[in-house]
Chains A and B, each alone.
Chain A
Amino acid sequence: MRVMAQMGMVMNLDKCIGCHTCSVTCKQAWTNRAGMEYVWFNNVETRPGQGYPRRYEDQDRWYGGWTLNRRGKLALKAGGRVKKLFGIFASPVQPELKDYYEPWTYDYKTLVDAPLGDDFPVARPKSLITGEDTKITWSANWDDDLGGSTEHGHLDPIVEKIRRESEDKIKFAYEQTFMFYLPRICEHCLNPSCMASCPSGAIYKRVEDGIVLVDQDRCRGWRQCVTGCPYKKIYFNHKTGKAEKCTFCYPRVEVGLPTVCSETCVGRLRYLGLFLYDADAVTAAASVTDPQDLYDAQMDVLLDPHDPRVQAEARAQGIPDDWLDAARRSPVYALAKVYKVALPLHPEYRTMPMVWYVPPLSPVVDLLRDQGHDGEDAGNLFGAIDALRIPVEYLAELFTAGDTGRVTAVLRKLAAMRSFMRGISMGEDPDESIPESVGMDGQGMYDMYRLMAIAKYSERYVIPTAHLEQAHDLEEPGLLFGFRRRTGHAGLGTVRRGERQTRPGGRGHVPRPAGPAELGHHCRGDKPAREGEPAELGRPRRPAGTFPGQGPGAGHPGRCRGPAVNRPAMNRRDQVVYLAAAWCLSYPDGQLVGRVPLVRAALSEFPGALAGFAPVLDLLEGTPPMELQAQYVREFDLGRRHALHLSYWTDGDTRRRGEVLGLFKEAYRHSGVLVDLDGELPDYLPMVLEFAARVDGEAGQELLQRYRASLEMLRLGLLRDNLPHARILAAVCATLPGKSPQDEQEVMRMAGYGPPTESVGLDPYDPRLLPVRRS
């Protein structure tokens, strides 16, 4: 047994309203680029319907997926390596633009540019390929809501098959109408045929979470993957000449966020979570003879995350404990394997798809209701599932290689749940006979209902974060901003240790810890803080009292170079307060939260210092990270009430601000450091505080005092909104000369300024902007 983890998705089709929000947000995020105009990583098809691209399920034409060869071994339907090699320069079998659609835009410019005429102007369609006028004859979703069924309905490969093989023919008649929506993304298969098709080895399946990606550097544009994927979810970018595909939004998933399509889903029909599977068993499972056995085989590959043997094996394979925990809480595992209501899409392609679907009961319920029956009565529903063969056969062709028994079993479970819960919400005693009739008990059925009907965000999306921190040395808390010493007098100098690392939690890159202490030669090889050692903020690995320009080493030429040396010693307590404040006011990612004990310990070395910080530290420790970060963004990033940028208060978003920000940078440079702003503005309060604490106490305090009014305004703003951070601001202000003002009026008087106003440029209503009147 080789245990591997796989990110998977389940979509509950009963909840899909076909709004296309997933498609639009996905396109905006991923394929809103030249060369990708026709590409929809996520699309929503109305079924019965041809889908996108047209008739992609017709593998007799497209040769996608796997088949069993004469020896019963798996082989690509499009042919093995030898065939591929001989045909490599021929254009592979792949859908053309007419099979996707010819993307278009409109002549929007006419709407504003048209000369005065008898009719109002109108934007006519223009092809995005040729740029010429065009008549729209096909789109990414032409047959939406069964539109055009008279012309195209019979072209749905499943309709064709059922008409050919079943005694009940699908008729496109008003009275027998059934339809549902099928949202599709890449299946991130366990046995991906696209990957096997690639002659360049550019497609890979990530070891840690099974996401299938195309390496853009290795892709040579052979397009064999487009043929190989039976779901036609790999697309050719005709500008770059490379293949692109759904990425399962891995940059989001890595930091614990759901994919864009899931996040924005209006119907909340998507579930994300982990599967554990036995990688050694995949090939055998994909090779079972009867396509209708593939579902069972796929289920057997999935491992029970509660099984201690599986857990032990997973640990041995290096799967971290929090991932195992996530696998136990996985909603996709529950729906697929525990409740057995989620089914894979087209298992007969033998790719072991990992995006699963709960088949829709609504076609059955709707038909019942339209015929005047009670669509929630268990008896009626069970009868209808058996009687209404057409929807069931159609679903079976999609999800179980034509095995209607399995689809019926799932639909009966859904019908039983609907009926059972209706009884409960009508105030009746739970009717245990209903769950029993589908082999479940009342509690299990209730749990399933909870997961399918009212599961909250955190229950629908159980996403363990990527273990980036293993790559980092978290034992030494570093600076948030990269203050880099300018060397000697050589102007802009070089960076001493500027390797970058990613902060887990995701605000991009910050430099590796590179504090002033490292600038001296003596600091290398110092040990990280251990229990029992004196807790010292920021630099546990240095002996106490050796902040630059302070303690016995201050002024020693070998210790620190540049103008920062020989500054008068700064109060040690102030230094700790500044650093603690810098961290408490920064974005609360995991790393910062992890430093809370250290901050607490350091502050408690100074009598009374901890009190002002305690509420925020408690908040940091006692709040779930998502909530904490949401609060931070809400309070500090989005609004202007608590702006953490000092010159925002004095200069706002006026054109003067650039100059003022330049002065901050100049102050830093004057102290002999370059600051890696990391996307922040140089007047960001935590940066100024860190500068004061770690680089140049005097200059830092000077800056703080110069923007004292901003600090006080911020303090009063925080106070007004009952945010505990107000006390931190009070502690910082207390280190500065002079008493804190009582209210905002007093601050205004102190600073002698009002709200920021623009002193450059033209007012929007400036008469100079009005059209020149001809006289």
Chain B
Amino acid sequence: MLGGAADGRPAMDTDAKMAEAILAFSGTTNGILSVQGFKDLEVRTGMKLADLAEGSEEKFITFAQTQAGPVPVITSPEWSGSETGGRRYAPFTINLERLKPFHTLTGRMHFFLDHDWMTDIGEGLPIYRPPLDMHRLFGEPRLGSDGAMEVTVRYLTPHSKWSIHSEYQDNLLMLSLSRGGPTVWMSPADADAIKVHDNDWVECTNVNGVLVARAIVSHRMPAGVVYVHHAQERTIDVPKSEATGRRGGIHNSVTRLLVKPSHLAGGYARLAYAFNYLGPTGNQRDMVATVRRRSQEVQY
């Protein structure tokens, strides 16, 4: 790199150094930045905030520390919660307790979006919208059983009671306290229609992809809906699928993001692109998938 643009600057030539650089640039891992960020925010808001991070100036979370074990992060203006003094994180703590204005036009928490496009499509306020007709719109199979050993159902991916994303549900102890691998919750009616018993291997398919998992049949599920809990890891007990011959997927293998015009409203008030979610809400959960019983002799 001699003579290049990076001359005299910290090297980021390995993944570990890159990680260090990222840690150095976030207030949650670099106490100096956090304090500085809060001081800037004090100037902008006129509210007392810096004390949330004061005393953290000398804290710096290194990559090695994150490898050694979980490290609590530093309260930072990048987020809206506070973990100062051992508190548990909750969203909007700083907005509510320190009166930092919400990131809305009014500075208050509100649900009304007065963007023209939102008004035009009738979504200025959060309202109920029926699920899309995936058959007519995208040619997916019709809901229900078609006489063959398949049933098409709404495919929902709620968070399980054990995890937000992946933490701990794939720990051996937690797996020993559940079914020990990926599962699909089904109603007895749907299971009956395709002759699936509890703990049978099933495949969920649609145009997006395929999921291989074991069925949990329970009267707690209404007919016509399956649950595939969010982010069950595909490192554990995922065999190859019959549909593709490749490794069966994860919950999001059969989902995709559906973009609608309101997602493109931007550059106005708080409506702006942000990583992970484009615009108002994510609706990639509005899916149907076809479930069928598969050969019970699975290959890994």
Contacts and interface: CB of A to CB of B under 8 A. Distances in A.
A381 to B, nearest CB: 23
Given A20-B174, A27-B173, A144-B178, A151 B217 contact: yes
A714 to B, nearest CB: 16
Given A18-B161, A120-B247, 20 more contacts: A20-B177, A101-B176, A122-B238, A123-B237, A124-B237, A125-B181, A136-B181, A136-B237, A139-B177, A140-B176, A147-B185, A147-B217, A148-B198, A148-B199, A148-B216, A151-B197, A151-B217, A153-B219, A174-B222, A765-B16
B115 interface: no
B218 A145 contact: yes
Nearest to A153: B219
A137 interface: yes
A147 B237 contact: no
A485 to B, nearest CB: 42
A44 B176 CA distance: 12
B234 interface: yes
Contacts of B162: 19-20
B237 A125 contact: yes
Interface residues of A, number: 46
A146 interface: yes
Interface in A14-64: 17-20, 23-24, 27-28, 44
B221 interface: yes
Interface stretch (A103-111, A201-209, A372-380): A103-111
A120 B179 CA distance: 22
Contacts of B17: 765
B180 A150 contact: no
B188 interface: yes
A147 B172 contact: no
Interface in B239-260: 239-240, 246-247
Given A140-B176, A765-B16, A119 B217 contact: no
A177 interface: yes
B217 A148 contact: yes
Contacts of A172: 188, 219
A142 B222 CA distance: 20
A525 interface: no
Given A18-B161, A150-B198, A764 B64 contact: yes
B178 A122 contact: no
Contacts of B66: none
Interface of B: 14, 16-17, 64, 161-162, 171-181, 183, 185, 187-188, 191, 197-199, 216-223, 234-240, 246-247, 300
B248 to A, nearest CB: 9
Contacts of A141: 176-178
Given A24-B173, A145-B218, A150-B191, A137 B199 contact: yes
A147 B184 CA distance: 10
A118 interface: yes
Nearest to A24: B173
Interface string A125-158: 1000000000011011110111111111100000
Contacts of B174: 20, 24
A173 interface: yes
Contacts of B235: 111, 120-123
A179 interface: yes
Chain A's interface: helix, strand, loop or mixed, by majority?
loop
**5 closest A-B pairs by CB:** A148-B198, A136-B180, A119-B247, A147-B216, A172-B219
Contact of B177 (A120, A144, A150): A144
B218 A106 contact: no
B161 A150 contact: no
Nearest to B172: A105
Interface in A664-707: none
A122 B219 contact: no
B219 A147 contact: no
Interface of A: 17-20, 23-24, 27-28, 44, 101, 103-106, 111, 118-125, 136-137, 139-142, 144-153, 172-174, 177, 179, 764-765
B198 A125 contact: no
A495 B243 CA distance: 76
Contacts of B221: 174
A106 B219 contact: no
Contacts of B177: 20, 23-24, 44, 139-141, 144
Nearest to B234: A122
A153 B185 CA distance: 16
B282 to A, nearest CB: 25
10 contacts: A103-B176, A123-B236, A125-B237, A137-B199, A141-B176, A149-B219, A152-B198, A172-B188, A174-B219, A177-B220
A149 B17 CA distance: 52
A148 B237 CA distance: 19
A621 B162 CA distance: 44
Contacts of A18: 161
A141 B235 CA distance: 22
A48 B16 CA distance: 50
Nearest to B180: A136
A147 B218 contact: yes
Contacts of A150: 188, 191, 198, 217-219
The CB with the most chain A CB atoms within 10 A, among B16, B64, B300, is that of: B300
Contacts of B188: 150, 172
A124 B178 CA distance: 16
A307 B246 CA distance: 73
A706 B155 CA distance: 71
B84 to A, nearest CB: 15
A531 to B, nearest CB: 43
B180 A139 contact: yes
A104 B219 contact: no
A119 B171 CA distance: 23
B176 A179 contact: no
Nearest to A152: B198
A120 B236 CA distance: 11
A220 B174 CA distance: 33
Contacts of B246: 118-119
B164 to A, nearest CB: 13
A103 B161 CA distance: 23
Contacts of B161: 17-19, 145
A177 B219 contact: yes
Contacts of A101: 176
Given A106-B172, A122-B300, A139 B178 contact: yes
Contact of B180 (A118, A125, A765): A125
The CB with the most chain B CB atoms within 10 A, among A106, A137, A172, A173, is that of: A106
The CB with the most chain B CB atoms within 10 A, among A28, A105, A139, A179, is that of: A139
B213 to A, nearest CB: 12
A151 B198 contact: yes
Contacts of A149: 217-220
Given A17-B161, A136-B181, A146 B220 contact: yes
Contacts of B222: 174
A172 B217 CA distance: 12
The CB with the most chain A CB atoms within 10 A, among B185, B199, B221, is that of: B199
A179 B220 CA distance: 9
